């Protein structure tokens, strides 16, 4: 491997990457810097979306290869076209990111880096018929994989008040969860995204309607997370990835709300601290030891300049870790 400090990257024009699938990659400079010294080997983008992060990683170092995963078939098709020029350095799979172990089981290339950009993509938000946004009138859908059976209409029109309240509190920290859930149950059937958005607006106190973002934003987020089972997939996916990273390999996760970030933080901290499963009254015999080191203990946030250029980056939280060798801790 050549000395990355002498000629670390091929210049990448971050402002003018082609975008056949709408996607402005968040915290791209921080990601490129995290992987700067890892110039070869296999990388995995477990939530490839529009391919902005993947494209920059491949363009920055010609010895890198990358496997992408996305549960949205339209993203898979678009990114296949976008990154076609990288030839056999790139491949993409249609699937969920908790299937990363299965995807890599028959791949003997050392895994040097992994990135998870959690949450919903800009393309999904901006495609009205997908039903992710309160800004457009469309059927209640919100499925990242349109072939999945559970959709937002089922959640909104069949779940009980207690279950809806729990979803709103757990998935979006919604202060007015009970009021919104009660209003949903009382107003059924609800057929469109705009109906749901207006219902939520009317359910919250008037003072809340006049401040900050649209009051339905948290409700849409919470229902989307429930439809796609998003939080439950994070822990197994991260653990599978950490297990497969080679010593010195790195993993980066971008999360966008407190529920996601709590899970990422917990998985990383447990991997960094080594979690002993032996009874507290006995000496440790389980052989628990740290498997990663945290590149920073505290979360990193986007710069004011990035937030100004891309408002959807405002809630991003960046965490990264490096795989340790056995006995290195």
Percent of the chain's residues with pLDDT above 70: 88
- Supply the pLDDT for residue 177: 97
- What residues have CB less than 8 Å from 218, skipping those under 6 apart? 168, 172, 173, 174
The DSSP annotation for 58-75 comes to HHH-TEEEEEEEES-HHH
Is residue 276 helix, strand or coil? Answer: coil
> For position 192, what pLDDT does the model report?
97
Rounded CA-CA distance 16/328 in Å is: 41
Quick one: tokens of 161? 């008040």
Q: Is the pTM of this model over 0.85?
A: yes
Mean pLDDT of 266-292: 77
Could you count the other beta carbons within 10 Å of the beta carbon of residue 175?
14
* β partners of residue 245: 111
Matching residue, tokens 């990154």: 83
* Cβ proximity of 116 and 238 under 8 Å: yes
**For residues 35 and 23, what is the distance between their CA atoms, to the nearest angstrom?**
21
- The half-sphere exposure of 313 on its side-chain side, counting CA atoms within 13 A, is 20
Average pLDDT over residues 112-125: 92
The mean pLDDT value for 216-236 works out to 96
| Omega prior to 70 cis, within 30 of 0 | no
**pLDDT-based confidence at residue 327 (cuts at 50, 70, 90):** low
CA 326 to chain centre: 29
Task: List the domain boundaries for the chain.
Answer: 28-123+230-323, 133-228
For residues 300-321, give the mean pLDDT: 95
Confidence of residue 62 (pLDDT cuts 50, 70, 90): very high
Domain 133-228 in CATH: superfamily?
Putative methyltransferase TM0872, insert domain (1.10.150.170)
More confident residue, 122 or 227: 227
**Which of 130, 96, 317, 135 lies closest to 224 in space, CA to CA?**
130
Confidence of residue 289 (pLDDT cuts 50, 70, 90): confident
> For residue 90, what are the β-bridge partners?
66
For residues 256 and 304, give the distance between their C-alpha atoms in angstroms, rounded to a whole number.
16
Least confident of 51-55, 78-82, 271-275: 271-275
Angle at 261 between CA 144 and CA 95, to 5 degrees: 30
> Degrees (nearest 5) of the Cα angle 172, 226, 231?
75
- Contact by Cβ (8 Å): 84, 217: no
Architecture of domain 28-123+230-323: 3-Layer(aba) Sandwich (3.40)
| Beta-sheet strand order (sheet of 90-94) | 90-94, 63-70, 40-45, 111-117, 245-255, 317-323, 292-294
pLDDT value of residue 11:
38
């Amino acid at each position: 491997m050549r000395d990355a400090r002498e000629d670390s990257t091929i210049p990448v024009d971050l402002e003018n990457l082609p975008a056949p699938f709408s996607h402005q990659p968040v915290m791209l400079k921080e990601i490129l810097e995290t992987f700067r010294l890892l110039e070869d080997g296999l990388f995995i983008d477990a939530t490839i979306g529009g391919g902005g992060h993947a494209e920059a990683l491949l363009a920055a170092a010609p010895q890198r290869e990358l496997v992408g995963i996305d549960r949205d078939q339209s993203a898979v098709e678009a990114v296949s076209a976008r990154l076609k020029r990288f030839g056999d350095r790139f491949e993409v799979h249609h699937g969920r990111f908790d299937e990363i172990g299965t995807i890599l089981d028959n791949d003997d290339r050392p895994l040097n880096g992994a990135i998870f950009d959690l949450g919903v993509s800009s393309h999904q938000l901006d495609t009205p018929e997908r039903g992710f946004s309160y800004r457009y009138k469309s059927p209640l859908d919100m499925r990242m994989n349109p072939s999945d059976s559970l959709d937002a209409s089922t959640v909104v029109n069949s779940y009980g008040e207690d279950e809806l309240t729990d979803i709103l509190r757990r998935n979006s920290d919604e202060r007015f969860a009970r009021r919104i859930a009660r209003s949903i149950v009382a107003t059924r059937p609800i057929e469109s995204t705009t109906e749901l958005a207006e219902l939520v607006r009317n359910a919250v106190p008037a003072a809340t309607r006049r401040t900050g973002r649209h009051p339905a934003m948290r409700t849409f987020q919470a229902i989307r997370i429930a439809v796609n089972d998003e939080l439950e997939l994070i822990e197994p996916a991260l653990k599978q990835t950490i297990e497969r990273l080679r010593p010195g390999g790195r993993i980066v996760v971008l999360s966008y709300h407190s529920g996601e970030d709590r899970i990422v933080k917990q998985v990383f901290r447990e991997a960094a601290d080594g979690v002993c499963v032996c009874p507290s009254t006995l000496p440790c015999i389980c052989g628990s030891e740290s498997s990663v080191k945290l590149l920073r203990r505290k979360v990193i946030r986007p710069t004011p300049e990035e937030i100004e250029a891309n408002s959807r980056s405002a809630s991003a939280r960046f965490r990264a870790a490096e795989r340790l060798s056995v006995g290195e801790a």
